[in-house]
Amino acid sequence: MKRLLIPLLILTATFARAQQFGGNPPSIKWKQINTPTTRVIFSQGMDSIAQQVATTVVQMNNLIKPSIGFKQRQVNIVLQNQTTVSNAYVGLAPFRSEFYLTPSQNSFDVGSLPWWQQLAIHEFRHVQQYNNFNVGFSSVLRVVFGEGGQALGNAMTVPDWFFEGDAVFNETLVSNQGRGRLPYFFNGYRSLWAAGKDYSWMKLRNGSYLDFTPNHYPLGYMMVAYGREKYDDVFWKNVTHDAAAFKGVFYPLQGAIKKYSGQNFTVYRKSALDYFKEEFKDDARVKLKSKHFVADEEYPAYVNDTTLIYLRNTYNHVPKFVIREGSKERSIAVQSVTNDSYFNYSGGKIIYSSYRPDLRWGYRNYGELRVLDIATGRERLLTRKTKYFAPSFSFDNKSIVAVDVPATGLSSLHILDAQSGKLLTAIPNPDGLFYTYPKFYSTDQLIAAVRNSKGEMSLALVDTKTGSNTYLLPFSYGPIAFPQVKGDTVYFSRTNGKNDELFAVDIKSRQAFSISGVSKGLIGYYQPNVSASKLAFTTFTANGYQLKQVGLDSIKLVPAQLSTKPSDMGISALEQDSASHFVDNAKTQQFEEKRYSKAHNLFNFHSIFPTLNDPNYSLELAGQNILNTFQSSILFNYNRDEGYKQFGYQATYGGLFPYLSAGGSYTVDRRGFYKGNSIYYNETSLNGGFTLPFNFSEGKYFTRLSVGSSVNYSRNTFQDAFRSMFKDTYYTYLSNSIGFSNQTQQAKQQINPHFAQSINLNYKTTVFGRDAKQFLAVGALYFPGISTNHSLVFNGAYQHKGQNNAVGFSNDFPFSYGYSAESLDDMYRMAVNYHFPIAYPDGGFGNLIYLMRLRGNVFFDYTHASAANIFANGAGFEGNFRSLGGALFFDTKIFNQGSLSFGIRYSRLLDPDFFGGSGRDRVELVLPVTIF
């Protein structure tokens, strides 16, 4: 099977995963702020944030245009406030952006700026990129294939590291912070340099199943920042314009870098990384015990001086809580699915916030509190349908404090009953702070790391009755996290210049201290925890976060003056642009707000997707509205075998609880045979139906159920030359389906989840015109294999259809490997597959294809089938179709960006292939898909 435009399909699939079709309930009323630069679409109650987003984008736009280009096309930005996910994207096909408005608790990760502001100054740079990369051959592709064509052209010529590196540079340029000033952002590369790991460019770009490799964000920033520092502000504008225009057929970006810098790409990228390596030359050199990634050990919590609990996350096991007693360790339990690995321990209990999606609406999800008993490993759900983060026990374990971030975006502290989860106190927030990692100091006072409306941070002593705050540190743009209270002292992590370090502050005197006596030169000091005589913390290494412990008697608290200005990490260009620190000078604007109709630009046809799947050649004109509640497509397909031409339209509306779908097609020149002669007819098909999607995922499992039904009408009209021989025929049938899947979490190296189940049922039956029926059941069971990353899979299927069916329904039965498939009256299949990794090559060539993993599969497959009146003489058939064999799969990255897996399968047929082919040995190319 051959397909055209594979990179486009990969890119489109990436965008599809970022979106949630029909994700918002119909009760939400939408409003808009419409400017020439952007249309901000938001729900009622989000007016203030929408005004600030529009103001930031409009005022920043002209300031940053010179460094990327002056093309302007309005973008739709949808503000999603129902989710607990902290994220955003800009995409083509269709051209739009979505901001997921719940901020993260960890201010080291992306900084402490107001979350809406962080998204606006980062994501709008992507808007400008797409606007200005519509040039040359990328523009030709857009003219021919629409936005999907430009997406293909841009993905082939401009790497993802530039898209994100340039956007991170912009957020750092226009603000007082940005990730380019955060040590945490560089920890990955610093850890590799400190350990002397000199990975190849392709390994840094594509990652590894064995070794830690940072993602493309810091790599991109270093590449972009070096270009801005060494050349000029329009260096990347010129480079990417030439690249997106395909100036240079082979490696156009590399050619453009040589053209405008005078250095070939290999020299340029080495110079860029060496520039930053020099900035961090004072990091201590580390000799790691293991060659490859070991584990992330995070959030150490003392049970006593000799026992602590932490979270362990490895490439071959999902995150689990571990207790370490001296040198011995034992597992407590697997952590439930969560957006944040943080947890708190006290009195034999662990509490953390777990992620749970809404039953139906994809943009709505929750942060629910779970309590784990470390003695029994049993876990209970404490709150339901809440948006709680960073919970912590009181000293007597009777209460819990957690950060509540409702759909309004406002942050508050809630005190809950530790047994029932009942809300006891909602603490006022008169200063409009965003709270992170709260801890009890006394029964009526809390300590929390807080962000103000500018994005500056401090530690606050919060009165639980009034919400009044006493600030223990001056506000600054230095991120603060992980406060730990010990008596009248708060230990915490804070950015200090080029490092994230440990500090302490005396609550009574408000005196800040640096902590001496811990190892110097480590890559960050995070998540401190204190026992009666020890201090534990984590530091980042090339083999993951590692847990460190020191005796309290060996450290000293040294009075310190905390830095107030983040480091530019050696990039002076951040201070020399007219857009530098733009957010300081942004002026308040008020834009007109209007109602946004859900029917606005409903069809929004944006792309033409060509597909070659011989013998079918098709063109699909795809449409999707901005709210992603309506998807439709106009399809033309030509079948080379029969010579027929098919025209069709299909649409699905997801704005109500059930998905509603309808469509139809008209096919010209369908061909059949009668008494050795070809006969031709035209076929009309109509369909309409509904689907009920349910998401029951909770705790440690992802669980989905889908129930649907459709009515389908088909009419065959014979062409004039045959109308005297045949009457037109028609029939109407129902297609009813149920799909269920359930699986545990899956670690990075695991080929399949250790435990999973899936079953799909489909029943088709005619209701008018002709008599026919067909029932199909397909299922699979997944189990762990002999070794950690091995997988044992049992497959089963059953099909029954009427012996005298007057309608030939589609054949979706998964026939035994190697055989030519036929749809017979009764069929059942049983198969066993064993999957296992073979090697992790971590190598490729030409920046075209990179092999990450080689894996194998051995199988035995058995199908039994029977049918009546299948042969011309009226004879029936009954037989077995058994095969065994193996497959070799290649998990790759193409163009240093897109994941592509394929395999070669050998099947030895143990029975004759009655319906096609000769010989017992079959070799096939396999393009695997996801398990559900």
H or E element, residue 299? strand 296-304
Quote the pLDDT of residue 332. Answer: 98
Mean pLDDT confidence for 403-413: 92
Q: What is the dihedral of CA 913, 914, 918, 921, to 10 degrees?
A: 0
Mean pLDDT confidence for 291-303: 96
170 contact partners, CB below 8 Å, separation of at least 6: 64, 121, 122, 125
- Topology, domain 32-283+570-594: Neutral Protease; domain 2 (1.10.390)
Mean pLDDT confidence for 382-411: 95
Quote the pLDDT of residue 13. Answer: 38
Mean pLDDT confidence for 516-529: 94
| Residue 15 predicted with pLDDT over 50 | no
Whether 394 contacts 418, CB under 8 Å: yes
Mean pLDDT confidence for 752-765: 97
Quote the pLDDT of residue 86. Answer: 95
Whether 167 contacts 158, CB under 8 Å: no
| Residue 731 predicted with pLDDT over 60 | yes
Query: Which range is least confidently modeled, 33-37, 268-272, 612-616?
Result: 612-616
Quote the pLDDT of residue 873. Answer: 63
pLDDT band at 928 (very low <50, low <70, confident <90, very high): low
Alpha carbons 534 and 550: distance in angstroms, whole number = 6
pLDDT band at 676 (very low <50, low <70, confident <90, very high): low
| Two structure tokens written together for 258 | 């040589």
Mean pLDDT confidence for 329-349: 97
Q: In the beta sheet, which residues pair with residue 357?
A: 365
| Residue 341 predicted with pLDDT over 70 | yes
Whether 779 contacts 757, CB under 8 Å: yes
Calculate the average pLDDT of the chain. 93
Higher per-residue pLDDT: 929 or 578: 578
| Two structure tokens written together for 4 | 């055209």
Mean pLDDT confidence for 39-52: 96
Mean pLDDT confidence for 205-227: 98
Q: What is the pLDDT of residues 594-617, one digit of tens each?
A: 999 999 999 999 999 998 887 889
Alpha carbons 612 and 637: distance in angstroms, whole number = 10
Alpha carbons 835 and 931: distance in angstroms, whole number = 13
Closest CA to 436 of 195, 658, 105: 105
Alpha carbons 190 and 420: distance in angstroms, whole number = 45
Closest CA to 358 of 389, 388, 385: 385
Quote the pLDDT of residue 326. Answer: 87
Rounded to 5 degrees, what are φ and ψ at 432?
A: 60, 40
Rounded to 5 degrees, what are φ and ψ at 295?
A: -175, 155
Quote the pLDDT of residue 932. Answer: 29
pLDDT band at 871 (very low <50, low <70, confident <90, very high): low
H or E element, residue 33? strand 30-34
Q: What share of the chain is helix, strand, coil (3-state, %, to 5)?
A: 20, 45, 35
| Residue 239 predicted with pLDDT over 60 | yes
- Burial label for 564, CB within 10 Å (0-12, 13-18, 19+), is exposed
Quote the pLDDT of residue 685. Answer: 96
Quote the pLDDT of residue 89. Answer: 97
Helix axis angle for 160-174 and 47-64, nearest 10°, is 100
| Residue 262 predicted with pLDDT over 80 | yes
Amino acid at 358: D
Three-class SS string for 528-539?
A: EEECCCEEEEEE
Quote the pLDDT of residue 718. Answer: 86
Q: 284-320: b or e for each residue (b if 16 or more CB lie within 10 Å)?
A: eebebeeeebbbbbbbbbbbeeeebbbbbbbbebbbe
Indicate the pTM of the whole model: 0.95
Instruction: Say if strands 445-451 and 75-80 run parallel, antiparallel, or are unpaired.
Output: unpaired
pLDDT band at 4 (very low <50, low <70, confident <90, very high): very low
Give the domain ranges of the chain: 32-283+570-594, 734-932
Q: Report the percent of the chain where pLDDT is more than 70.
A: 96
Closest CA to 164 of 897, 910, 913, 921: 897
| Residue 707 predicted with pLDDT over 80 | yes
Alpha carbons 35 and 13: distance in angstroms, whole number = 30
Mean pLDDT confidence for 14-33: 80
Mean pLDDT confidence for 84-105: 96
Closest CA to 862 of 904, 900, 903, 815: 815
378 contact partners, CB below 8 Å, separation of at least 6: 372
| Residue 316 predicted with pLDDT over 50 | yes
| Residue 373 predicted with pLDDT over 90 | yes
**How many C-beta atoms surround the C-beta of residue 772 within 10 A?**
18
- In the sheet with 365-373, reading across from the earlier edge strand, the strands are 344-346, 349-357, 365-373, 379-381
Q: What is the dihedral of CA 586, 587, 590, 591, to 10 degrees?
A: -50
Alpha carbons 302 and 479: distance in angstroms, whole number = 25
Higher per-residue pLDDT: 530 or 719: 530
Q: What is the pLDDT of residues 820-839, one digit of tens each?
A: 888 889 999 999 999 999 99
| Residue 701 predicted with pLDDT over 50 | yes
Q: 241-250: b or e for each residue (b if 16 or more CB lie within 10 Å)?
A: bbbbbbbbee
Rounded to 5 degrees, what are φ and ψ at 715?
A: -135, 130
Q: In the beta sheet, which residues pair with residue 738?
A: 707, 761
Query: Which range is least confidently modeled, 132-141, 193-202, 572-581, 923-932?
Result: 923-932
Instruction: Say if strands 75-80 and 38-43 run parallel, antiparallel, or are unpaired.
Output: parallel
E-strand ranges in 388-511 read 388-393, 399-404, 412-417, 423-427, 434-442, 445-451, 457-463, 469-471, 480-486, 489-496, 499-506
Distance of CA 12 to the CA centre of its chain: 14
